Amino acid sequence: MQADQDLIPHGDPLALFDAWFAEAQTSEPNDANAMALATATAEARPSVRMVLLKGHGPDGFVFYTNAESRKGREIAENPHAALLFHWKSLRRQVRIEGSLTEVTSTEADAYFHSRPRVSQIGSAASDQSRPLDSRKTYLDRVEALAARLEGQTVPRPPHWTGFRLAPDAFEFWHDRPNRLHERRRFTREGERWTSTLLYP
């Protein structure tokens, strides 16, 4: 079998992510910024869910949530996490691992108030991840809060915040014919990134 050119170049994984993400935004039918977020308790019991990437750059990858939710409590216990992007239209995946820190209150305020008003009220009315006796209870709380705050700015709840994952490892996966896939893993060594291909 003749060798062919690598599709995943060595170099800067942040620049490579930017390029792949830009392509996904034009090709994915829904939510190119959707990512699986894996967290774990202090006892290393894992859980995973889908969240939306709301910002990224050299300092990391940002998402927002209720800090009193299950993932928020797990982050408080164990501030390490992993992200997974799966862009089926491009037949690509990106895995990112690193540590989490909370965004500033200024960042959290800015993003909270950029959301549709009904989403702001829905977040403020939700005890995320807590038991709920009926959906009607939640919708009644949303309606009551909307009425109480009519004509006013919705205050960001203090427990509604964001987290930034500072990457220390990336893995890029590209589908290849006959399941002869291509994988490249990048790891940070100080300010420098090194990479290697992995067997699929």
pLDDT attached to residue 4: 60
Task: Provide the annotated active-site residues.
Answer: 179
d(CA 103, CA 65): 11
Q: Tell the CATH topology of 13-57+78-105+165-198.
A: Pnp Oxidase; Chain A (2.30.110)
| Residue 27 near residue 19 (C-beta atoms within 8 A) | no
For position 2, what pLDDT does the model report?
A: 46
Q: Which residues of the chain have pLDDT under 70?
A: 1-5, 7
The pLDDT value given to residue 8: 73
CA distance 138 to 173: 41
d(CA 62, CA 119): 18
**What is the tens place of the pLDDT at every residue in 133-189?**
999 999 999 999 999 999 999 999 999 999 999 999 999 999 999 999 999 999 999
